[in-house]
Structure 1
Amino acid sequence: MQFRTKARAVDLLGKGQIADLPTAITELWKNGYDAYADNLKAELFKKGYQGLENDYFIISDDGKGMSNSDILDKWLVLGTDSKSRAELDIESEDTLWKQPRIKAGEKGIGRLSIAYVGNPMFMISKKIGYNYELVFFDWRLLENFNLFISDIVIPTKTVENLENLGDDLIFLKREFLKNFTDEKYKNYYINSNGELDDITSSDKAFVSKWDNQQLILKDEIIESVLQCDLNKILIKNFIDHFEKAKYKTGTLFLTYNPIDQILDLSEKDIDGLEDRKFVISSLTGFTNPFKGEESKVKNSFLINIKDETFDLLNSRGNFFTKDDFDLADVYIKGIFDGYGSFNGKIRIYDEVIDYVYTSSRKKDKRSFYGEIPIELGYSQGEEKSSSLTESQFKSIKDKVEEFGGLYIFRDEFRVLPYGRETADFLRFEERRSRRAGTYYFSYRRMYGYLDITRDRNEFLKDKSSREGLINNAQYRAFTNDAISFFVTLAQDYFATEAKESLFLNKKKQLNDEHEALKADKERDRKEKIAFTKSLNEYPKKLEEHQSKYENLLNELDAKLDNLNVTYSEIESILDELQILDIEFKGILPKVPKRYKPTETQKERLYKFENRLNNYFEVVAPKRELLNRKAQDKLEIRDLKIDFTKKYNSYISSLEKELNANRQTLESKADSLLKEYKERSRNLIKNLSENKDEIVNNIISKDQVSLHTDKIQDLYSSLLNQAQGTLFPLVEHINRLSFDIDEEQVQGAYKAQYDQMKYQWEQTRDTAQLGIAVEIIDHEFNQLYAKINNQINVLNNNEIVSCIKEFNYLEKNFKQLEDKYALLSPLYRISGAVTKDISCNVVFKYLLEFFENQIEEYNIKFEVSDSFKNHIIKIKEPVIHTIFINIINNAVYWMRNKEERIIKLDYLIDSNEIIIANSGEKIPDYRLDKIFDLFYTQRPNGRGIGLYLSKQSLNEAGLDIYATNNKKLNSLNGACFVINQLSSNNV
């Protein structure tokens, strides 16, 4: 007598043991990992993608693949023990000549996970030197509790190539459908196309094991099998998969009718977000990324929907890397020794300390779990408590919110479910919910890993469901040790009443700094709002002022036309004009010293200033004319009265401004002094309120010593509070001086910081640009040589040489060659030598370089003889680059002008070269800024050209500046002047 196994047992071992979709995919990827694959992929083809009529799901790897005997003797044999024995392979063909890997699987049933994702299944596998192996099966067949394993037919087929996969699939389907018929009647029941014949039910002789209870299942399976197809998109995907593999090997599973959970991953609606997040968080970090080592494999999950393809695993941001530990406010690295002790280092902000912990539990060899290294980063929940910059804090916060948790990796391979949001196996959140001030650590704010191996931690084993570790004595001992470690660590450094104040002091310092900066930003925000408001109100204020002023001038003019006009008749008009004259200076919005206006605001302010100046130029002459007219009409006595009134109005206006600021100063000083006294009283009160009680209760010398220490600690704590709040204010006020504008100083430093920060961010792009230019230059030379060689070959061929298209190609290539030759003087500036360069040669070079633009925009050059005759001593690439950059900008800014002129001149008297154009005029406030690194007004411009031009000229003893001086800027557009570098600039 012997055991017989029902087919249902295989179903229970396979799909029945899989907890969820990520676990199923992970089990299949594990098999690919064990097969020495470099790329593991899951791919969903959604109905509608490039015309697909059905949904398909593919899981593939580029590992060593399987031969026919591998499939029959290994893949179709459950519980193979090669992995559970943890035997290492030998570097050979069987490892694809890679370093042997420790097997991720161990039970020999992970392959059955494919049953979880959908049915039927079509598998293709190829091994080096072998043909392709095809397998077709519907795992639902195993759900028939009447069938034994020996009753099941799993069809396979060996093929040389994938060209006739459609026919091969029909054959496999026909073979599979034999599972539903009696051998005697099979030819009548299934035709040669693998389809059901239209015959009467009396001719159908089903195996008795498909009884009434199984008929629905039978019909579902047969209908699904008959609908299985292969189209061009799928076949191309299969062929590409094997062609792209290094050894053209691997295994691929095609699943028809994928489960709804897979299909829902392509939907981006709100209802599916949590499930997508669950799947993504479970499949990322497939092999340990925290160690900074290059991953042995790359895994991806592609979604093909409509005309879009995206990788699901990257759709919610990138996973952690080792570098993220540098952004941790708290960093833990050490080893649990397996008996209850931890030895390692803790970094609290920027302070590193050695830390040793020993559990009080009884040391029992039966609970020894082996050494477990841990590396963990912890992110503060609020930016004010973090030492990171705003961008760094946001970067790590986004990752922690998406992927935060404590992961477990066995032999560098992730163990599920650890790391998931719900897998808080050390119960951090449970303790924190009871008292955050005591337990501190939150599972949702940490990221890192526990490193276990099969050798070191042999008793920490997976559950049969592959959902966590078995809850045995070793597992319980480890979790108890880890929990006690984190509880003790929190009490030592991070609790509200921690034994050590290192963390709390640093956190308080950061909080105080943050609050100070927050208040400073709020002050900046208010100034920004006020400045923006004044800009918006300016046009109306100017119009009202101008209208009122002009009306008064007209009224005064009319009054003065009267021969007998008296002072009393025009006194009120003169008084109002005087008030408007004083108000005139305050019309233009005042730029805050601490706040740096935006470029748009500067542009508006510049236009407002021009408008105000134009207004003044119009009314000033008329006002002066009327003043003289009034002087002619009025007596000296009346004029003295009017002058006295004007004098007094200026005194009154100044007095008003000074008094208003004095009142603000007195009010603020009173407020600060009042608050200082109040805080001081509270500190004194905290130190002295229990004095009498303490003194009266002292009855021994030991108590004197004890209370002395307590009072000393309290005094130090209160003094620290004063030093952190009260004294800095006094020191700041003490440093204030009427001779130093603190607001202006702070504004200048802030502007410098913002500029440095912006430049640093841009410098990285510039470095990459430089590298790219070198690569392009090298590749251009290679490409040029190849094309030129091929043209010469074609030219020698009599058949080709007569073709007009060839001549056209040759002509266009020569044009490209000419353009490339124009660039040659710009290369390798550092290797060029200084020599005399004729400006006439430079001019001719510009005509060639800008030939197309000159023709397209009808650009005219005005070039003086003095320019053509001038000689400049400089490196040729430098002068060419400078002129190209300036002319290129000129072309851009002249596009919308009716007349497009570029003027090149040399002023002999001042030894200056003029490069002017008729394009947009540069606003006065930008004349200096345009030479700053990364400053640009052109869309997509980098702001590098003019900066480099100035630097290069300075190195050659020359300088360049922009000007709106009408004597030099005769075209009233942009004007640049190259002159000798003055000694003050050296």
Structure 2
Amino acid sequence: MLSSVSFQTRARTIDHLGREQIADCPTAISELWKNAYDAYARNVSLNIFDGEIPVATLVDDGHGMSLDDLRSKWLTVGTESKATGTVTPPEDRNGIDRIRVKQGQKGIGRLSCAALGSLMLLISKKKNEQFVACLLDWRLFENPYLMLHDIKLPIVEFETRSEVQMLLPDMFDKLMGNLWGDGLDNERDARVELAWKSFHEQELIEKKYSTKVAIEETVIGTCFTDRHFDTWPVWSGNSRHGTGMFIASINEDLTAQLSADSESDGSEIRAKERFIQTLSSFVNPFYRPDEERITDFNTSVIAWNGHLQRFIIDKIRNFDISNFDQLEHIIEGEINEEGLFTGNVKAFGEWFNDVTVKPKSRYKMRKDTHFGAFSIRLGTFEIIRKNSSLSDDQYNNFYQNRELFGGCMVFRDNLRVMPYGREDNDFFEIEKRRSKNAGLYVFSNRSCFGGVNITKIGNPNLKDKAGREGIIDNKASKLFREVVENILTEIAKRFIGRASQMRADKLEEINAKHAADKAAKDRIKLLKKEQDRIKSTINRNKAYLEVTRNELIELANILTENRNFDSQDELTRLKHELNELDGRLKNFSLSPIPRTLGSIETSYRDYRDIELNAKELVKQISSSINLALEKLTTKEDIEIAEKDFKSKAGVLHAKIRKYANEGRELLKAEISRFDELVDTANKQFHKNLTIHLDDLAAKKTTLEHVMALIDLEYEKQDIEIQQSLKPYITAIESLREQIDLEGLAIQSVNENTKLKKKLDQIHALAQLGISVEIIGHEIEGLDMTIERGLDSLSKSELTESQSKDLANVTQAHQSLSDSWRFLSPLKLSGEKVKARLTGDDIYKYVNDFFKSRLDKAGINFVKTEAFSQISIYEQPSRIYPVFINLINNARYWVRETTEENRLIILDVKDGLVYISDNGPGVDIDDIDDLFTIFFTKKQRGGRGVGLYLCKMNLAAGGHKIYYESRPQHKILNGANFVIDFKGIKNA
């Protein structure tokens, strides 16, 4: 018997089409943003709230939905409006004249909100309509035994905002009917009960937590509050229409955004990076003033810690055309339907106009395979610093921003196509070509900015996959990719890559500039060396210099007391003694002297006065002895001269022997070190590649991969050999030509004395930075919170008096903002007044600063009675930042401890202050570098300046800091920093 049946749909289908279909949480957000764009929203915002139950809200000011829209469109999968191209009527376009190209295609994008969290309250309002709300728990759709038609979702209309909290309990009870049945349909109730019983038994077998129990444990009254609803412009009264999604039990990628950078673990940091890589530049920011662009759609992601808001994604924090134009390599132009590129190219900062690149072949197009015309605007920079024409600031800016904003993106109608531009996607195979020959194929996917622009109308065959994991892999997309790859390859060969003559010419010029910059840095390094030499020479020789001067004074007194010498032998003996003292005096000389001596200026002047006084005595005594010898004629003049000659020759020969021995030892050591460098350089290339050649011989890898590794290693070794061996040759050549490198350096430094003052100012600014680094986000967040609050007030109806007060407050806030941004670093580096600081003062200051963060991390911060009893007379601005930095470091590392009790302690032992923790401690190989500037072992977020500045700050007051590595002297088994305070007292 012939019969017909229809498809039966399980509830799990919704889960497949939504949460499981979408790539990840940030991609889901981008889909919902596109829905807001289709709803003619001007603003769409994702807000993530901390609290006992973290909540996210995704809110917009689009045209909103009526009850009928909610039923027939939002709750109907695969609606026809987007598929048929239905035009949004003018009254629903939010005052936007331009007709927006619809981004949705399949009518399932809204289901991606399941990837944000389990429980969702949807509220929408259409202009001149009532509010409409729907409550969903996406976990209902994970039950494979439940039929889709058996799930009933509660929806309701209401007039005022205040009604929603009263309606929520009833809606939640209605929602629970999908677990227990609602008593209205006995057959449905039986099916529902059996489905959840079967699913529960399955989860028990698989040792999973019961989904049914998890849903039942939801306390709806504690999930959503006014704090969350107020983020929706409709709720706050700033819009008459829009849609808000309020989500609880949110995804881990969302909760990761709530933690401060310094407190994030590896997975949270990766989640943050993925957020920014996916959601930044959602609207194409790389447009010229005369080009079609989107200016009426703004996106943002805001993390709320209490009432403090921190912007993760914002139009202010973006990489736009003004940044893009500073790149040193740019490709910008149009590609026609046959794949011909016509446009402009920038190489090493120089523009070349009317450049064309022909396609690899003539493509035969059919209606279903042609890719259509599109445009490209892509830029990059030289990754190797010595090859870049950029300034240090520009290079550092691009190098840092590439992690957040880098990647070759694809925009459709000026909105991003996912996942292109992310670190894990290389649609145009840029890195694959680069691995073959990095010198020839210079573009690097992570170091590219900008991308390719297509349109829905002009490129109809370039369609998105259902899960938004890229463009469907059809004939059109293959040709589209081939055309782009051909443009990148040809531009690299002709203008930027190793095969380009332009690169050879430009690199010669750039490398010469970098060599000059390096020479300037070397001169500064030598100046520091000379200042250290003078300081150490003064400390070492001043006492001996004074002894020599006293001996000269005694010799002068002998000559004064015996004016009538009648013995040539006595005069000759005195002459010999004078020569020895003069030779010793010359060994104490400080020449050459830099013009700027800084803190040792006073010591140098005292030393110089003693030396000049001694030299003057030598002249006087020598003159007196020579005059006395003239009066005596007992011995021949030649005999007297020969004795003086031999005496002075003896002094000179002694000095020559001394320098010869020192020189030979240094040369011997350097020859040995040079031989080691040569030996290492000879072996390194073979050492690093032998294993890969062995793998190739054993057919464990491919020839292409090994050839790429050989190219990369060759480039690396060529640079290292140049940097390690060339300085030796240059220095030896200078010695052969009798060039006084030290003298040249001092002379050059003396001509640039003014730079010292600037360096001091930079150092003062760095001292400020150590504190600002920690609280910068909080300061910025508070400032922006105030700014947005004032902006909101300005849109409210105020009395004339209130308006005047608001204007005054706004002006004062602006002045305050300007002031804290531009205050002099010297003024911000702290009060110069000294005060008596006790251990309790220091502990209270640091504990108040970190208390909430320490509590959150479960760290105990304590002091001993011995620490409480100490006191120091010093500038607070010199001491407090040191403890702030040390405790901040301890807070970071103690989270890595395997011990249950996380502890940081302040203690005193033998007059020394200890800052100890029970974290992993410092590796023995890293101890020598701890206080070196820019040395850091933090995986991300570390600057490597904190401990260096701690040491400098303390040294300015005569105090010392070091790391205690001896186990018997440690307080705790982790890191132990010890401060030796000058003048420390016990109360």
The alignment partner of 2:330 has SS state of: strand
Q: Retained in 2: the 8 A contact 1:27–1:113?
A: yes
Instruction: Give the corresponding residue for 1:23.
Output: 27
Instruction: Give the corresponding residue for 2:107.
Output: 108
Q: Retained in 2: the 8 A contact 1:185–1:205?
A: no
C-alpha RMSD of the superposition:
5.3
Instruction: Give the corresponding residue for 1:286.
Output: 282
Instruction: Give the corresponding residue for 1:829.
Output: none
Change (3 A) 1:642 1:577: farther
Q: Retained in 2: the 8 A contact 1:138–1:221?
A: no
Is 1:250 matched up with 2:208? Answer: no
User: Which residue type is aligned with residue 66 of structure 1?
Assistant: M
User: Which residue type is aligned with residue 19 of structure 1?
Assistant: A
Change (3 A) 1:321 1:97: closer
Alignment of 1:362-761 (within 5 A): 362-366=362-366, 367-496=369-498, 498=499, 500-554=500-554, 557=557, 567=571, 570-579=574-583, 586-587=589-590, 590-591=593-594, 602-612=597-607, 615=610, 636-637=631-632
User: Which residue type is aligned with residue 291 of structure 1?
Assistant: Y
Listed one character per residue, the Cα deviations across residues 691-715 of structure 1 (whole Å, up to 9, x for unaligned) are: xxxxxxxxxxxxxxxxxxxxxxxxx
**Alpha-carbon distance between aligned partners in 2 of 1:72 and 1:10, rounded to the nearest angstrom:** 16
Greater shift, 409-418 or 303-312, is seen at: 303-312
**Alpha-carbon distance between aligned partners in 2 of 1:100 and 1:477, rounded to the nearest angstrom:** 30
Change (3 A) 1:349 1:648: farther
Greater shift, 454-463 or 35-44, is seen at: 35-44
Q: Retained in 1: the 8 A contact 2:576–2:644?
A: no
**Alpha-carbon distance between aligned partners in 2 of 1:151 and 1:233, rounded to the nearest angstrom:** 27
Instruction: Give the corresponding residue for 2:338.
Output: 339
User: Which residue type is aligned with residue 262 of structure 1?
Assistant: L
Listed one character per residue, the Cα deviations across residues 589-608 of structure 1 (whole Å, up to 9, x for unaligned) are: 6117xxxx5xxxx4324222
Q: Which runs of 5+ in 2 are unaligned?
A: 204-208, 664-729, 765-789, 791-799, 805-811, 813-874, 876-987
**Alpha-carbon distance between aligned partners in 2 of 1:623 and 1:205, rounded to the nearest angstrom:** 117
Alignment of 1:149-298 (within 5 A): 149-163=148-162, 165-184=164-183, 207=192, 209-210=194-195, 212-215=197-200, 220-221=211-212, 223-231=214-222, 234-242=225-233, 244=236, 246-247=238-239, 249-265=241-257, 266=259, 268-291=264-287, 295-298=295-298
Listed one character per residue, the Cα deviations across residues 860-915 of structure 1 (whole Å, up to 9, x for unaligned) are: xxxxxxxxxxxxxxxxxxxxxxxxxxxxxxxxx9xxxxxxxxxxxxxxxxxxxxxx
Higher relative contact order (CA 8 A, sep 6+): 2
**Alpha-carbon distance between aligned partners in 2 of 1:129 and 1:637, rounded to the nearest angstrom:** 127
Change (3 A) 1:591 1:646: farther
Q: Retained in 1: the 8 A contact 2:545–2:610?
A: no
The alignment partner of 1:356 has SS state of: strand
1:539, distance to aligned residue in structure 2 (A): 2.8
1:524, distance to aligned residue in structure 2 (A): 4.2
The alignment partner of 1:541 has SS state of: helix
Q: Retained in 2: the 8 A contact 1:81–1:106?
A: no
The alignment partner of 2:118 has SS state of: coil
User: Which residue type is aligned with residue 457 of structure 1?
Assistant: N
The alignment partner of 1:591 has SS state of: coil
Q: Retained in 1: the 8 A contact 2:327–2:380?
A: yes
**Alpha-carbon distance between aligned partners in 1 of 2:197 and 2:211, rounded to the nearest angstrom:** 14
**Alpha-carbon distance between aligned partners in 1 of 2:758 and 2:608, rounded to the nearest angstrom:** 34
Change (3 A) 1:97 1:408: closer
The alignment partner of 2:383 has SS state of: coil
Instruction: Choose from 45, 48, 54 the match for 2:49.
Output: 45
Listed one character per residue, the Cα deviations across residues 746-797 of structure 1 (whole Å, up to 9, x for unaligned) are: 658766899999999x9xxxxxxxxxxxxxxxx9xxxxxxxxx999x9xxxx
Greater shift, 500-509 or 569-578, is seen at: 569-578
Change (3 A) 1:569 1:342: closer
**Alpha-carbon distance between aligned partners in 2 of 1:109 and 1:39, rounded to the nearest angstrom:** 22
* CA radius of gyration, larger in: 1
Q: Retained in 2: the 8 A contact 1:552–1:573?
A: no
Is 1:299 matched up with 2:294? Answer: no
User: Which residue type is aligned with residue 514 of structure 1?
Assistant: H
Is 1:355 matched up with 2:355? Answer: yes
User: Which residue type is aligned with residue 280 of structure 1?
Assistant: I
The alignment partner of 2:162 has SS state of: coil
Listed one character per residue, the Cα deviations across residues 546-573 of structure 1 (whole Å, up to 9, x for unaligned) are: 2332254357647866899853564455
**Alpha-carbon distance between aligned partners in 2 of 1:168 and 1:336, rounded to the nearest angstrom:** 56
**Alpha-carbon distance between aligned partners in 2 of 1:754 and 1:616, rounded to the nearest angstrom:** 27
Q: With structure 1 as the length reference, what TM-score do the two structures score?
A: 0.58
The alignment partner of 2:230 has SS state of: helix
User: Which residue type is aligned with residue 11 of structure 1?
Assistant: D
Q: With structure 2 as the length reference, what TM-score do the two structures score?
A: 0.58
Instruction: Give the corresponding residue for 2:71.
Output: 72
Change (3 A) 1:750 1:477: farther
1:227, distance to aligned residue in structure 2 (A): 2.3
**Alpha-carbon distance between aligned partners in 2 of 1:249 and 1:75, rounded to the nearest angstrom:** 16
User: Which residue type is aligned with residue 529 of structure 1?
Assistant: K
1:626, distance to aligned residue in structure 2 (A): 8.8
The alignment partner of 1:262 has SS state of: helix
Instruction: Give the corresponding residue for 2:40.
Output: 36
The alignment partner of 1:214 has SS state of: helix
**Alpha-carbon distance between aligned partners in 2 of 1:55 and 1:149, rounded to the nearest angstrom:** 29
1:465, distance to aligned residue in structure 2 (A): 0.8
Q: Retained in 1: the 8 A contact 2:462–2:476?
A: yes
Alignment of 1:82-97 (within 5 A): 82-86=81-85, 89=88, 91-92=90-91, 94-97=93-96
1:370, distance to aligned residue in structure 2 (A): 1.3
**Alpha-carbon distance between aligned partners in 2 of 1:23 and 1:98, rounded to the nearest angstrom:** 29
Instruction: Give the corresponding residue for 1:711.
Output: none
User: Which residue type is aligned with residue 48 of structure 2?
Assistant: L
1:137, distance to aligned residue in structure 2 (A): 1.1
Change (3 A) 1:13 1:507: same
Listed one character per residue, the Cα deviations across residues 266-323 of structure 1 (whole Å, up to 9, x for unaligned) are: 46113443343223211111111122667533333333458975334489x9542212
1:447, distance to aligned residue in structure 2 (A): 1.6
Alignment of 1:833-844 (within 5 A): none
Identity of aligned residues (%): 26
1:248, distance to aligned residue in structure 2 (A): 5.1
Change (3 A) 1:63 1:755: farther
**Alpha-carbon distance between aligned partners in 2 of 1:91 and 1:537, rounded to the nearest angstrom:** 85
Listed one character per residue, the Cα deviations across residues 90-136 of structure 1 (whole Å, up to 9, x for unaligned) are: 65454245644322223222111111222121223333444433321
Instruction: Give the corresponding residue for 1:141.
Output: 140
1:414, distance to aligned residue in structure 2 (A): 0.6
The alignment partner of 1:58 has SS state of: strand
1:30, distance to aligned residue in structure 2 (A): 1.5
The alignment partner of 2:82 has SS state of: coil
Q: Which runs of 5+ in 1 are unaligned?
A: 47-51, 190-203, 665-727, 763-778, 780-788, 794-815, 817-892, 894-986
Listed one character per residue, the Cα deviations across residues 438-497 of structure 1 (whole Å, up to 9, x for unaligned) are: 43333233222111111111111100111100111211111122222323333334454x
Change (3 A) 1:223 1:445: closer
**Alpha-carbon distance between aligned partners in 2 of 1:391 and 1:638, rounded to the nearest angstrom:** 77
1:385, distance to aligned residue in structure 2 (A): 1.3
**Alpha-carbon distance between aligned partners in 1 of 2:274 and 2:605, rounded to the nearest angstrom:** 60
The alignment partner of 2:20 has SS state of: helix
Q: Retained in 2: the 8 A contact 1:346–1:355?
A: yes
Listed one character per residue, the Cα deviations across residues 650-680 of structure 1 (whole Å, up to 9, x for unaligned) are: 9x99xx99xx9xxx9xxxxxxxxxxxxxxxx
**Alpha-carbon distance between aligned partners in 2 of 1:522 and 1:603, rounded to the nearest angstrom:** 19
Is 1:132 matched up with 2:163? Answer: no
